[in-house]
Structure 1
Amino acid sequence: MTLKPSTDDHLIEYTVDHVELLKGHFLHAFRDTVRLPSGDTASREFVIHPGAVMIIAMRDDGRLVMERQYRYPVKQVMVEFPAGKLDPNEDHWACAQRELLEETGYRAAEWAYAGVLHPVISYSTEFINIWFARGLTQGERQLDQGEFLDVFDASVDELLAWSRDGQLTDAKTLTGLLWLQNHLSGAWPLEWKRV
């Protein structure tokens, strides 16, 4: 089987009606009525998200810059790679640099774009651009008002163990860990560029 057949017409749903449910400060929710490939109709509720970046920041000793942050929807402190949402019309590399500095205080001399992930395709348009950073220098954090998080270092082995044991369950961080493992093994090379 090929990954992409010559046509996807037998899978595509077409919008019949589009209703706004909520326009918040951050999220925008809709309920659409769609026509299914069978001709029947169904309802689809989803959230428009502005997109985000995630940074896999590698220290010279091989340890990784990580965060612990309380995430209200799941009522838990989560272990995560640094990340943040895109501002309107913001370049995603500029966003990655800004978020790394704001949340951790680090600046990076070299950056490499890895790819994109879609963490919740069943109900959100959210995408997260994955960036690697190295050549780190420490400075002062510039947290947003109302933002509280701990910054710490962890080894790849620690992250893998926490993933296995269910202590690290954040989808973007798990995807970042997959990228990191494959990069370190040489299977997925990166093209580094200097700031």
Structure 2
Amino acid sequence: MTGPRSVQSLIAPPPIRRVREVAVFRNRFGTLFNDDVIAPSGSTGQYLRWQWNQEGVVVVPVGPGGYALVTSYRYPVHAASLEFPRGGAEGDEGLAAAAARELREETGLVSQTVRPLGVIHADTGILASPIHVFVAQVDAATAQPAQPEAMESLTEPVWVTPEELPRWLSEGRITCGVTWRRSRWSSPVTAHRLESAPGPCRCRYSPGPSDGTADQVLRPCPSRAEHPRSKGAGAVLAA
């Protein structure tokens, strides 16, 4: 038996092909489809997928206190959930502008800078739309009153330090899949520090693969030009 393949060597399996697009529900947020499909084996059936009308955004607020999360009551799970602010673009709004707006509406925090980090898919089994991830540098001292939407139930931002975050994850305090994904990859903590100006970076890093634990050996980052994340190092944490 061979070991797991690297990402570069993965071979894509045969696709499940759509025979007919079947919309079964639609509202101002998106459309639910129950498409007729055919599997590689030749078997036919239906496949559910939800398509948002606009692409999603999630923003990782970073400040002197670490990460800012918001406690949101999520009706589908009938429970409160610690999450990074998220939502979607409105009309022809740019994605970075949407991230800054969602941050301001849900937390009252005003972004000083907003930078893209990448794209994720929250649930590839049913959600067709991508979510664009941004990191925002914020200052809690300049926060304004939050302005949540009518059907949102939120509390004031909760701050967690980079050192506390692995424990919060392991204890189950954070269960939102989108937030979990961004929390496990800790580069958002330092992304706002990677300026073009010369001088040492103020982060610390683990030279080995990130396993999300709090007891990794952390070393000083040599410089912005030689930042360890660019060389495939493990978790990067704020100093």
TM-score scaled by length of structure 2: 0.70
CA RMSD in angstroms, aligned pairs only: 2.3
Structure 1 stretches of 4+ with a deviation exceeding 6 A read none
Secondary structure of 2:24's match?
A: strand
Match of 2:175 among 169, 176, 191: 169
Q: What do the CA deviations read for 1:29-72 (whole angstroms, capped 9, x no partner)? A: 1111112223332321111123311111111x242211001000
**In the alignment, which residue of structure 1 is the partner of 2:201?**
none
Secondary structure of 2:129's match?
A: coil
Q: CA deviation at 1:5?
A: 6.7
2:93 counterpart of 1:52: no
Superposition pairs of residues 153-192 of structure 1, within 5 angstroms = 153-181=159-187, 184=190, 185=205, 187-188=228-229
**In the alignment, which residue of structure 2 is the partner of 1:111?**
114
**In the alignment, which residue of structure 1 is the partner of 2:105?**
102
**In the alignment, which residue of structure 2 is the partner of 1:149?**
154
C-alpha contact 1:30 1:47 (8 A) present in aligned 2: yes
Aligned mates of 1:166, 1:149 — CA distance in 2: 19
For CA contacts below 8 A with separation 6 or more, give which structure has more relative contact order.
Answer: 1
C-alpha contact 1:120 1:126 (8 A) present in aligned 2: no
C-alpha contact 1:102 1:141 (8 A) present in aligned 2: yes
C-alpha contact 2:66 2:189 (8 A) present in aligned 1: no
Aligned mates of 1:52, 1:111 — CA distance in 2: 15
Instruction: Sort the Cα spacing of 1:113 and 1:188 in 2 relative to 1 into closer, same or farther, 3 A.
Output: farther
Superposition pairs of residues 86-97 of structure 1, within 5 angstroms = 86-97=89-100
Q: CA deviation at 1:2?
A: 6.0
The structure richer in strand per residue is: 1
Q: CA deviation at 1:167?
A: 1.7
Secondary structure of 2:97's match?
A: helix
C-alpha contact 1:54 1:130 (8 A) present in aligned 2: yes
**In the alignment, which residue of structure 1 is the partner of 2:214?**
none
Q: What do the CA deviations read for 1:78-108 (whole angstroms, capped 9, x no partner)? A: 0011111222332110101111111111212
Q: CA deviation at 1:135?
A: 4.4
Match of 1:70 among 64, 73, 77: 73
Instruction: Sort the Cα spacing of 1:101 and 1:23 in 2 relative to 1 into closer, same or farther, 3 A.
Output: same
Q: CA deviation at 1:181?
A: 4.9
Unaligned runs of 5+ in 1: 190-195
**Which of the pair has more CA radius of gyration?**
2
C-alpha contact 1:159 1:168 (8 A) present in aligned 2: no
Q: CA deviation at 1:182?
A: 7.2
TM-score scaled by length of structure 1: 0.84
**In the alignment, which residue of structure 1 is the partner of 2:130?**
127
Aligned mates of 1:152, 1:99 — CA distance in 2: 16
